[in-house]
Copies of this chain bind each other. A is one copy, B any other.
Amino acid sequence: MEFLSEIDRLKRVDRQSLITGRVRRENSAEHSWHLAMFAMILGREADGIDPWHVVRMLLVHDIVEIDVGDTPPHAPGHDPATIGERELAAARRIFGLLPGAQGQEILALWQEFEAGQSADARFAKALDRLQPLLLNTLTDGGTWKENGVSEEQVVSRYGPTIAAGSPALWEHARQLVSRHFAAQGEATLAEPRAL
């Protein structure tokens, strides 16, 4: 119960993504729910994937952010040299609130996700990239527009991780990205230009 009380704090960790309606940024708890739904729905159709294992990984994958915060890989403060250590310390502290065997199991799930080697972990990581991609297409460009990210940058930043987890999902996501940028281009052309 101490663990279940502590993780309530994930609701106060904000991410970069806007939620639909563009009313505010997404927090890591609701992001984890959305990802679990992605895994439940899309994992059922994927060969060689255990949806329950993927759901469990995704439910716990961001809990370390309670101590470390959300640090997007392209943000200025992102330091890959130290973030791994800080996240591991957070995982040990928070999962250590659980009784021994269960704490070890959750730590192993989180480590499997971080390592990204197993088919289930690669699929989980693909969904963790697909979900913000979908949100950006649903929020008029969202963080892409805020940061002036081009279609080519989207493809290079999202493509490898999504394709490694599921080539079929990347094929679909690539179409969403093309349609999004094509529509943005048309909207820009349609704007009245100053002389």
Within 8 A of B (CB), among A1-23: 1, 3-5, 7-12, 19-21, 23
Binding site for B on A (CB under 8 A): 1, 3-5, 7-12, 19-21, 23, 26-27, 29-30, 32-34, 36-38, 40-42, 44, 52, 55-56, 59-60, 98, 102, 134-135, 138, 172, 176
**29 A–B contacts from the bound complex (CB under 8 Å):** A1-B134, A1-B176, A4-B34, A4-B37, A4-B38, A4-B42, A5-B138, A8-B20, A8-B34, A8-B138, A9-B21, A11-B19, A11-B20, A11-B26, A11-B34, A12-B20, A12-B23, A29-B33, A30-B30, A32-B33, A33-B33, A33-B36, A33-B59, A37-B59, A37-B60, A41-B98, A52-B52, A52-B55, A55-B59
Return the chain B residue nearest A51 by Cβ: B52
In the assembly, what is the distance between CA of A20 and CA of B7, in Å?
10
Q: Given the complex of chains A and B, what is the CA–CA distance between A76 and B20 in angstroms?
A: 30
Most B-side CB within 10 Å, residue of A36, A37, A55: A37
Contacts of A52 in B (CB 8 A): 52, 55
Per the bound structure, the CA–CA distance linking A21 and B6 in Å amounts to: 11
- Nearest-neighbour CB distance to chain B for A49, whole angstroms, equals 14
A39 CB, nearest partner CB in chain B, Å: 10
**A42 contacts which chain B residues (CB < 8 A)?**
4
**Using Cβ atoms and an 8 Å threshold, which residues of chain B touch A36?**
33, 36, 55, 59
**Chain B positions within 8 Å of A26 at CB level:** 11
